[in-house]
Amino acid sequence: MLERVLYHDHCFDGAASAAYFSRFIAGAIHPDAEFRYTGMAHKASQLFDPGLFDGDENAIVDFKYSSDPRLTWWFDHHQSAFLNAADQEHFRADTSGRKLYDPGFKSCTAFICKVAAERFGFHAPDLDDLVHWSLIIDGAQYSDAKTAVELGAPAMKLTLVIEAAKGSGIVHKIIGWMQRRQLSEIIAEPEIQQLYAPLYQRHLQNIDLIASRAHLDDGVVFFDLAGHEVEGYNKFIPYYLFPDSVYTVSVSPSSFRTKISIGSNPWTPTEPKHNLATICERYGGGGHARVGAISLAPGELTRAREIAAEVVAELKT
């Protein structure tokens, strides 16, 4: 029994969802299941290559819905979960009870945990800490910007490794470890330590780079990382640097897309009024109410800057 699991790549909650889902399937549904993982990234072109659904069962966790008839399981909590109205209709018509969606959950891992317990009687109390941290990280429930940026907790260190991973090999190892081990044991693995040390140095450099490029105007931080080799950065750095800001808009070109990231300060004294997923959806992107992104093709820097300028103007109102 081959179980293909498509999960949200470069994301702590995506990896934790894949791990929790695998424990659940092996523990409650198919004890003989063999798992294969595929990390999924949001991009401007076709999301689901037909060849992806090659298992006896195929699952998607923490990522968009697919109407492919070979999809067996689906768990998601993103506001923008459907590529189009036809997919949403297809989901509504599903009667399998194995396609599950609740945008009210702050992490997909917690959602899977709840459904597995309530509908299938499956419990994994040794993974409580994993679920707890998925809620903090995906829901941006840090007590302050310092906790989010200075990376004291094992889960935060692991997030740095997962978000920066080149290729999928190490994330698939982490997904395997997450099913049976504590986060403090995973971060102590020599292989993880080796990856973490240079990433932490780069994280410190990113803080300096963003400090030098970012400007705060009318509550909105804007920065453009074109010309810098930054494939990703801790999204709380702007609020660590500008505690009084409400929103951040950034343009970051990378090898496979030009990304416009839009976020809101989780610790702002002013409650953000704009739904960022709705703004992003207008430009073909998506996300959650408090954080979203728009992906353009590589090389579309001019268009990305236009969109970013429009969004900055809108958020200042």
Chain residues binding Mn ion by CB under 5 A are 13, 62, 108, 138
Residue 60: CB atoms within 10 A of its CB come to 28
Question: Measured at CB, which residue is nearest to Mn ion?
Answer: 13
Q: How far is the CA of 219 from the CAs of 55, 272, 287, in angstroms?
A: 48, 10, 21
Residue 22: how many CA atoms within 13 Å on its side-chain side? Answer: 25
- Token readout for 97 is 């009870």
In the chain, the N- to C-terminal Cα span, in Å, equals: 54
Residue whose CB is less far from Mn ion, 60 or 210: 60
Q: Which residues pair with 88 in a beta bridge?
A: none
Residue type, 247: Y
Residue whose CB is less far from Mn ion, 13 or 57: 13
Find the shortest distance in angstroms from Cβ 241 to Mn ion.
Answer: 25
Residue whose CB is less far from Mn ion, 111 or 283: 111
Tell me whether residue 202 is exposed, middle or buried, using C-beta atoms within 10 angstroms of its C-beta: 0 to 12, 13 to 18, 19 or more: middle
Residue whose CB is less far from Mn ion, 112 or 246: 112
Find the shortest distance in angstroms from Cβ 197 to Mn ion.
Answer: 27
DSSP 127: G
Find the shortest distance in angstroms from Cβ 131 to Mn ion.
Answer: 12
Find the shortest distance in angstroms from Cβ 43 to Mn ion.
Answer: 17
Phi and psi torsions of 252, nearest 5°:
-140, 105
Residue whose CB is less far from Mn ion, 3 or 76: 76
- Token readout for 244 is 């009084």
Tell me whether residue 176 is exposed, middle or buried, using C-beta atoms within 10 angstroms of its C-beta: 0 to 12, 13 to 18, 19 or more: middle
Residue whose CB is less far from Mn ion, 174 or 241: 174
Residue whose CB is less far from Mn ion, 76 or 224: 76
Residue 121: CB atoms within 10 A of its CB come to 8
- Token readout for 177 is 């470890």
Find the shortest distance in angstroms from Cβ 229 to Mn ion.
Answer: 27
Helix-strand-coil split of the chain, %, nearest 5: 45, 20, 35
Find the shortest distance in angstroms from Cβ 174 to Mn ion.
Answer: 16
Contact in structure between 182 and 129 (CB atoms under 8 Å): yes
Find the shortest distance in angstroms from Cβ 20 to Mn ion.
Answer: 12
Find the shortest distance in angstroms from Cβ 130 to Mn ion.
Answer: 13
Residue whose CB is less far from Mn ion, 81 or 237: 81
